[in-house]
Chain A
Amino acid sequence: MITRERRILSGKGRFIDDLEWPHMAHCVFIGSPYAHARIKRIDVSQAVKKPGVLTILTGEDLVKRTEPLPALSDFSGRPGWHWRVPRIYPLAVEKVRFHGEPVAAIIAETPSLALQAADWVEVEYDPLPPVLDAEEAMKKGAPLVYEEWGDNIQLHTVFNFGDVEKVFQEADRILKVCWRENRVSAFPLEARGCLAMFEPMEETLNTWGSYQCPFRAQHYLSHVLRLPQTNVRVVASDIGGGFGNKINSWKYTVVGLAAILTGRPVKWHESTREFMLTGPHQRDVRWEGEVAIKNDGHILGIKARFIQDLGVEISNRDYSAPSIIAACSSVPNAYRLQGLRVEAYGIVTNKSFYGAYRGFGKDKGAKFMERIMDRVSRECRLDPADLRLKNFIQPHEFPYKHISGLVYDSGNYPALMQEALSAAEVDSWRIKQEELRKKGRYVGIGMAFVVEPAGIAAPNARFSGLVQARVRITPDGLVEAYSDRTEIGQGAERTNTLVLSQILGARTEDIVIKPVSSDIIGMGPISSRGAVYSVSALARAAKGIKALIIKYASAFFKEDPANIRLEGGTIYSTKNPENRLTFKELADRFYFRPGPRGLPREMQFNHETLLDVSSSWYSPNNAQNPTTTYTTFAASADLAVVEVDIETGVTHILKYVHVHDAGKIISRETVDGQIYGGIVQGIGEALYEELVYNERGELSTDSYGDFLMPTALDAPHIVIQHLETPSPFTELGTKGMGESPIIGSKAVIISAVEDALSPFHVRISEAPATRERVRRWIRNSPAR
């Protein structure tokens, strides 16, 4: 079958921009110009009469016709948890709570007719003071995002792992560490969108679009639109980048409703600006912590206060509320801590909602921990590599149950670190660094080590860990595979093909990876779970098909099953070479000539007459260890050398090394693609990207001209090396690996910039390290 790459390069992509249906109408959302305001009145009576307008929906219509957006994870009622769920709709009701929040949806013959009518939608607002900073929002008297709550705290709990009080008493030293990451998101070049159409014959709402997780979108749409799940079918079209940003489907519900009400196919494809204004935002966290250490560099424990600035909410538009748990339980990272206490807050403010972006939450703890490592190294004058090596979990300790409850599957952290140190030639760079400093050039060497928990399966959330895969042999001998693993650019199609080809001995051109739809159960590509859940389920289905093929072939050949081999697209006997069938020939005999009559009677009596296997997979790690929410733990070591121009504040990357252990690798090229892309995204986060709201709560950075993603000039040369420590838990020994590169690269660049600025005693506690910030840090330096 033609690969996706070849199809796209033949001009046959099917992205949201390419979807068309006869008689199609268009949906355009109208957003609030205010960050916070009461809606006094919406009058669409003029607008709805404008040329080409079919209908206009407002919040009032949704209240009548739909359910409020459901809570996607709910820990309320758990002891010690403060967890609030707002009552909200995708179009604002009574109040707008962030700049750009949709207040109306215009359905018209063309997008430009909808936009022309938009000028006639009259909305009378009563502006309210916005609250734009989490710490301000926690103060008494702050404007309330939800008056009914009485405060702005959506989530609050204390995570207490190990015996933190004991280790703080045993400490030789206690150091303070603060760290703040500003607001960013992925914003891939294709914004969100979908085409929805109500099909009367099946009474089914069919929808195609940039659905990263069709099964979950089906659940969401059916709930909101009050349709049985069987009457909603969601299909992922070609997706122009996901990174978590297209898991949410709250605006898609309005498009679905419009299709039902108008009886027309309705398409929505938002602009980049709309994506940035109303899309999922991420990071925006601050940590204030204390670390207890021994003089020899052993790290005993950490106490911290963690504040996540959620924007308008974290629970209903997207699935991200458990990210607060991931953030706190990922603090121990690769190290043997004995105690950890985090008081965690999720605070609502008048900004766009909090959603998923590569890293999700597990990135936050690891980056905080790496800041701690650098701080300890500097304050205690310990080599940063030695410090990490001293505190690593050791290779013989796996599976390692961490104080967080996470059970790490396997790894060899010292070997990874050593490999990275030698590949980066750190020792010679230290010498060069000294020499260059004498010439007024500021070079810094940074390091970061990241453990990536992958494949979330959490209770009380739409992350249950269920997954399905189906493989069948078609009557003309092709291998057809169905999986929940949407292709979002991460190489799902290629790796799924390789898995099937290796297990079945089928030729890759005979393997068909079907588009992902809600017909297959599964959480979709989130939390790097493709190589954990989806691949394991697919491998099980493929093994099931292989067993059936061997059984049938041994019946056809009248031979012992042990003699049958599958290889190069044929099924043959090792004993009698004349006994050989292609997949096509086998399928033909099995289906038609002679058909089931050709099978042994025992199989006929057992009704074993299908070449079609549906499998599931559930993590043995979760099954054995109820405290772990993740299954595999890939690891990576990043080393970077940068030079900072202290006059301009510009950072240049001189050397970049990434050594990765993703367990068993299916496709080196695919894994490397994830690494290159993730690293450059992380560099963007470390140096340039930032979502900035002005004092009125308007998003100032609402275009690629202001939100500065890396260009080809910003990508360094990257040396990649691999170790392979297979996971004992997954079907093929693979580990999820899509996220550690973005985590490690942000951490390592910050680490390197701080090292470069060490003559100025700069301690970096905020990202991104933009050129303006770097100049300010130097200006305010006590050494200047």
Chain B
Amino acid sequence: MKMPVKIKVNHHSYQLEVEPQETLLEVLKNKLKINSLHRGCEEGECGACTVLLDGKPVCSCLIPSPQADGKEVLTLEGLNRDGELHPLLEAFIENYAIQCGYCTPGMVMTAYYLINHLTHFSEENIRKGIEGNLCRCTGYIQILKAIQAAKKNKDAGRWW
């Protein structure tokens, strides 16, 4: 039984037919070919598949795709514009916050949310905010530095 779903992904609208059991991750990855998204644990434990759903970070592996009907999804691809990397992503590069890069597309979506919405922007709160995004390579230290540097960029107007 296919279900119709209207979904906006990275500023483009799509009308899709989905299976009820198909997850948002499967639809984004397999149907819409959102390449940056990665399948991790598929249990919501690792955060590798994090996207913003109506502005909030979610593990796309846990969201049944029909639930995304009428909603807006943002992934790493939607942050960049005109072939330019988003300033947040530049901060990840400058601070050596990427090692293998598998967790990064999910990690940066959580980071983007935190930078835009954390009312008390402190290292402790960033740590709490990214707790659901596992990284096996960096030990998080350079990621924390990158997020703090990106916030400074934002405060200085280098942001979109």
What residues of chain A have their CB less than 8 Å away from a CB belonging to chain B?
3-6, 8-13, 15, 17-18, 186-190, 238-243, 269, 271-272, 488-491, 669-670, 672-673, 676-681, 703-705, 709-713, 715, 717-718
Given contacts A5-B93, A9-B98, contact A681 B46 (CB under 8 A): no
Q: Are B46 and A489 in contact (CB under 8 A)?
A: no
Residues of B within 8 A of A239 (CB): 100
Q: Are A713 and B127 in contact (CB under 8 A)?
A: yes
Residues of B within 8 A of A713 (CB): 127-128, 131
Q: Are B38 and A17 in contact (CB under 8 A)?
A: yes
B45: contacting residue among A17, A676, A680, A704, CB under 8 A = A704
- Closest residue of chain B to A668, judged by CB? B96
Q: Are A10 and B80 in contact (CB under 8 A)?
A: yes
Q: How far is the CA of A269 from the CA of B39 in the complex (A)?
A: 10
Q: Are A189 and B103 in contact (CB under 8 A)?
A: yes
Q: Are A703 and B41 in contact (CB under 8 A)?
A: yes
The CB with the most chain A CB atoms within 10 A, among B75, B99, B143, is that of B99
Q: Are B39 and A8 in contact (CB under 8 A)?
A: no
Given contacts A189-B136, A712-B127, contact A488 B46 (CB under 8 A): no
Is the C-beta of B112 less than 8 angstroms from some C-beta in chain A?
A: no
Is the C-beta of B130 less than 8 angstroms from some C-beta in chain A?
A: yes
Q: How far is the CA of A669 from the CA of B97 in the complex (A)?
A: 10
Nearest Cβ in chain B — how far from A212, in angstroms?
11
A241: contacting residue among B76, B100, B139, CB under 8 A = B100
Given contacts A6-B85, A712-B127, A715-B140, contact A188 B100 (CB under 8 A): yes
Residues of B within 8 A of A680 (CB): 139-141
Is the C-beta of B57 less than 8 angstroms from some C-beta in chain A?
A: no
Nearest Cβ in chain B — how far from A653, in angstroms?
12
Is the C-beta of B105 less than 8 angstroms from some C-beta in chain A?
A: yes
- Closest residue of chain B to A487, judged by CB? B100
The CB with the most chain B CB atoms within 10 A, among A9, A240, A670, A672, is that of A9
* Extra contacts besides A9-B76, A188-B100, A673-B138 (12): CB < 8 Å: A4-B101, A11-B105, A189-B38, A189-B46, A189-B134, A190-B100, A240-B102, A269-B39, A272-B41, A488-B100, A670-B96, A704-B45
Q: Enumerate 8 A-B pairs (CB-CB under 8 Å) in ascending A order.
A: A11-B35, A11-B75, A12-B35, A187-B136, A269-B39, A673-B142, A678-B139, A680-B140
- Closest residue of chain B to A3, judged by CB? B93
Residues of A within 8 A of B75 (CB): 11
- Closest residue of chain B to A683, judged by CB? B139
Q: Are B137 and A9 in contact (CB under 8 A)?
A: no
Given contacts A8-B98, A712-B144, contact A704 B139 (CB under 8 A): no
Is the C-beta of B89 less than 8 angstroms from some C-beta in chain A?
A: yes
Which chain B residues (35-84) contact chain A, with CB distance < 8 Å?
35-36, 38-43, 45-46, 48, 75-77, 80
Q: How far is the CA of A453 from the CA of B8 in the complex (A)?
A: 53
Q: Are A8 and B41 in contact (CB under 8 A)?
A: no
The CB with the most chain A CB atoms within 10 A, among B29, B104, B105, B139, is that of B139
Q: Are A271 and B137 in contact (CB under 8 A)?
A: no
Q: How far is the CA of A190 from the CA of B102 in the complex (A)?
A: 7
Nearest Cβ in chain B — how far from A19, in angstroms?
11
Nearest Cβ in chain B — how far from A368, in angstroms?
25
Residues of B within 8 A of A12 (CB): 35
Q: How far is the CA of A192 from the CA of B61 in the complex (A)?
A: 19
B41: contacting residue among A17, A242, A673, A704, CB under 8 A = A704
- Listed from nearest, the 7 A-B pairs whose CB atoms lie closest are A240-B102, A489-B100, A680-B139, A489-B99, A676-B139, A704-B45, A11-B36
- Closest residue of chain A to B10, judged by CB? A11
Given contacts A240-B38, A676-B142, A712-B143, contact A704 B102 (CB under 8 A): no
Nearest Cβ in chain B — how far from A290, in angstroms?
36
Residues of A within 8 A of B89 (CB): 9
Q: How far is the CA of A242 from the CA of B101 in the complex (A)?
A: 12
Residues of B within 8 A of A5 (CB): 92-93, 98, 101
Proximity bits, B132-159, A CB within 8 Å = 1, else 0: 1111111111111000000000000000
Given contacts A241-B137, A712-B130, A713-B128, contact A18 B43 (CB under 8 A): no
Q: Are B92 and A17 in contact (CB under 8 A)?
A: no
Nearest Cβ in chain A — how far from B84, in angstroms?
10
Residues of A within 8 A of B40 (CB): 189-190, 272
Q: Are B136 and A243 in contact (CB under 8 A)?
A: yes
Q: How far is the CA of A11 from the CA of B9 in the complex (A)?
A: 14
Given contacts A243-B136, A676-B138, A712-B140, contact A15 B43 (CB under 8 A): no
Q: Are A241 and B35 in contact (CB under 8 A)?
A: no
Residues of B within 8 A of A272 (CB): 40-43, 46
The CB with the most chain A CB atoms within 10 A, among B80, B104, B138, is that of B138
Q: Are A186 and B45 in contact (CB under 8 A)?
A: no
Residues of B within 8 A of A271 (CB): 41-42
Q: How far is the CA of A715 from the CA of B131 in the complex (A)?
A: 11
B96: contacting residue among A187, A673, A679, A718, CB under 8 A = A673
Q: Are B101 and A715 in contact (CB under 8 A)?
A: no
- Closest residue of chain B to A110, judged by CB? B30
Given contacts A6-B93, A10-B80, A271-B42, contact A489 B139 (CB under 8 A): no
Q: Are B77 and A11 in contact (CB under 8 A)?
A: yes
- Closest residue of chain A to B34, judged by CB? A11
Nearest Cβ in chain A — how far from B7, in angstroms?
18
Q: How far is the CA of A703 from the CA of B42 in the complex (A)?
A: 10
B131: contacting residue among A13, A243, A704, A711, CB under 8 A = A711
Q: How far is the CA of A17 from the CA of B85 in the complex (A)?
A: 22
Q: How far is the CA of A9 from the CA of B41 in the complex (A)?
A: 21
Nearest Cβ in chain B — how far from A676, in angstroms?
4
Q: Are A8 and B104 in contact (CB under 8 A)?
A: yes
Nearest Cβ in chain A — how far from B12, in angstroms?
14
- Closest residue of chain B to A714, judged by CB? B140
B102: contacting residue among A11, A241, A676, CB under 8 A = A241
Q: How far is the CA of A703 from the CA of B41 in the complex (A)?
A: 8
- Closest residue of chain A to B100, judged by CB? A489
- Closest residue of chain A to B43, judged by CB? A703
- Closest residue of chain A to B141, judged by CB? A676
Q: Are B100 and A240 in contact (CB under 8 A)?
A: yes
- Closest residue of chain B to A187, judged by CB? B136
Nearest Cβ in chain B — how far from A742, in angstroms?
10
Q: How far is the CA of A712 from the CA of B142 in the complex (A)?
A: 11
Q: How far is the CA of A18 from the CA of B29 in the complex (A)?
A: 9
- Closest residue of chain B to A239, judged by CB? B100
The CB with the most chain B CB atoms within 10 A, among A13, A18, A269, A713, is that of A13
Residues of B within 8 A of A669 (CB): 96
The CB with the most chain A CB atoms within 10 A, among B34, B101, B128, is that of B101
Q: Are B93 and A709 in contact (CB under 8 A)?
A: no
Residues of B within 8 A of A678 (CB): 139
Q: How far is the CA of A681 from the CA of B136 in the complex (A)?
A: 7
Residues of B within 8 A of A243 (CB): 136
Nearest Cβ in chain A — how far from B109, in angstroms?
12
Nearest Cβ in chain A — how far from B85, in angstroms?
6
Residues of A within 8 A of B77 (CB): 11
Nearest Cβ in chain B — how far from A233, in angstroms?
23
Nearest Cβ in chain A — how far from B123, in angstroms?
9
Q: How far is the CA of A241 from the CA of B85 in the complex (A)?
A: 23
Q: How far is the CA of A704 from the CA of B131 in the complex (A)?
A: 13
A186: contacting residue among B36, B43, B136, B142, CB under 8 A = B136
Nearest Cβ in chain B — how far from A722, in angstroms?
15
Residues of B within 8 A of A186 (CB): 136
Residues of B within 8 A of A10 (CB): 80, 85
Q: Are A677 and B101 in contact (CB under 8 A)?
A: no
Residues of B within 8 A of A6 (CB): 85, 93
Given contacts A9-B85, A712-B130, A713-B128, contact A238 B96 (CB under 8 A): no
Given contacts A10-B85, A673-B99, A679-B139, contact A190 B38 (CB under 8 A): yes
Residues of A within 8 A of B76 (CB): 9, 11
Nearest Cβ in chain B — how far from A58, in angstroms?
27
Residues of B within 8 A of A704 (CB): 41, 43, 45-46, 134
Q: How far is the CA of A703 from the CA of B96 in the complex (A)?
A: 28
Residues of A within 8 A of B108 (CB): 9
Nearest Cβ in chain A — how far from B82, in angstroms?
12
